[in-house]
Amino acid sequence: MFAPGAGRFLGPPVGVAVVLLGLVLLGIVPASVYLLGLFLLAIALAVFFAVFFRDPDRTPGEGVVSAADGRVRAVERDGARWRVSVFMNVSNVHVNRFPVTGRVEAIEVSGAGHRPAYRADARHNVQQRFELSTAYGPVEVVQMTGIFARRLVSWVSVGTEGTKGDRLGMVVLGSRVDVLLPAGRVTPTVRVGERVHAGTSTIAREGS
């Protein structure tokens, strides 16, 4: 299963590979090292995008679950909230999910610049913030851009009712996703460096 929009990336290299193969098999053009190189490049790009846009089904985990696949880069207090930040590299599944069941109250794009996503000051990068009303209180999911990841995708709108683990959007080509949780209601259960998976890995549980 592929994420929405995968076709616009997968289609061109697959099309080029099919056309090149057809031209050679039909004898329209002779086989050559040049054509072989183009064919292999097209196949490599198709495989890359197929891996990048994969979207496996997930069974929701317990408590508050991660909104992104990757490694936990920070677990820290941010005022009256906990911030759990996950860095996604290019090999991770890039589909982001609801960390808890809730209603989308606002979607806001803000920030400026495209600093490396693993740096602390990347929180000032261009970002897309989803404000959710949940049984735990206000929860935010923040998609951040990075040096190469500059396309933030949303598959929801204000008023969307999402169940924990439902698809929320994606960040194209890496970067990071932060989840901000009310400190008085939940306690983080993950540590920096842990690998997590969107929708299944528990990152916090109820209780302070």
> Tell me, what's the pLDDT at 148?
61
The catalytic residue among 66, 91, 110, 175 is: 175
**In 3D, which of 32, 162, 163, 146 has the Cα closest to residue 107?**
162
The residue ranges of every structural domain in the chain are 7-52, 64-206
Q: Is the Cβ–Cβ distance between 75 and 102 less than 8 Å?
A: no
> Tell me, what's the pLDDT at 22?
79
Residues 6+ apart with CB under 8 A from 196: 66, 68, 69, 70, 71, 72, 86, 190, 203
Is the per-residue pLDDT at 23 higher than 80? no
Which CATH superfamily groups domain 64-206? Glucose Permease (Domain IIA) (2.70.70.10)
Mean pLDDT of the residues in the chain: 87
> Tell me, what's the pLDDT at 135?
94
Q: How many residues are present in the chain?
A: 208
Q: Is the pTM of this model over 0.85?
A: no
Rounded CA-CA distance 44/55 in Å is 19
Tell me the pLDDT tens digit for each residue of 168-205.
Answer: 998 887 689 999 999 989 999 999 999 999 999 999 99
Rounded CA-CA distance 123/107 in Å is 16
**175 in active site:** yes
Is the per-residue pLDDT at 5 higher than 80? no
Percent over 70 (pLDDT), the chain: 91
Rounded CA-CA distance 194/149 in Å is 22
Count of C-beta atoms within a 10 Å radius of residue 172: 18
